[in-house]
């Protein structure tokens, strides 16, 4: 079997999450050049590759946020994905089904999963520039 080269870019805006991720990665048998972990806010991030890839997000579910703040955040996530990550696939896990609808993108995949005790939805999205449909198809 031929190995497919994979590059993983991980980021978070929480320094503790970055430290925990780096520690967890140090326990794995991975070449260090295949994984980079950076302290970056998703809303300030850009793809650092010209090749399409996969974006995986685990945003706050809203347990400690006001409903209007969580709705605003999820809508902003959808906008950021649509306008900054075309050609990529995105996967988002959340227990907040109403907030997931605020993403504003139609998921191609939906899976029910558990993240600890929380029942979550694991949604997959194909990201594309513009509209997926031509004017004639509408």
- List, for residues 35-78, the tens digit of each pLDDT value: 888 999 999 988 877 788 889 999 999 878 888 899 999 999 99
Q: What share of the chain is helix, strand, coil (3-state, %, to 5)?
A: 30, 25, 45
Q: Is 137 helix (H, G, I), strand (E, B) or coil?
A: coil
pTM as predicted = 0.82
Is the pLDDT confidence value at 135 over 90? no
Task: Compute the average pLDDT of residues 120-130.
Answer: 91
What's the mean pLDDT when you consider all of the chain? 87
Bridge partners for 122 per DSSP: 93, 111
Ordered structural domains, the chain, with CATH: 1-40 (no CATH), 55-138 (3.40.50.150)
Instruction: Kindly indicate the confidence band of residue 133, based on its pLDDT and cuts at 50, 70 and 90.
Output: low
Q: How far apart are the first and last CA of the chain?
A: 44
């Amino acid at each position: 079997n031929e190995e497919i080269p994979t590059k993983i870019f991980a980021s978070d805006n929480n320094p503790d999450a970055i430290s925990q991720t780096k520690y967890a990665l140090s326990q794995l048998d991975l070449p260090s050049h295949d994984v980079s972990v950076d302290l970056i806010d998703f809303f300030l991030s850009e793809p650092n590759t010209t090749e399409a890839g996969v974006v995986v997000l685990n945003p706050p579910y809203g347990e400690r946020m006001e409903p209007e703040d969580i709705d605003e955040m999820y809508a902003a996530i959808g906008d950021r994905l649509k306008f900054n990550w075309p050609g990529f696939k995105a996967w988002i896990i959340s227990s907040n089904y109403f907030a997931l609808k605020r993403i504003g993108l139609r998921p191609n995949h939906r899976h029910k999963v558990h993240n600890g005790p929380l029942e979550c939805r694991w949604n997959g999205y194909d990201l594309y520039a513009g509209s997926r449909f031509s004017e004639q198809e509408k």
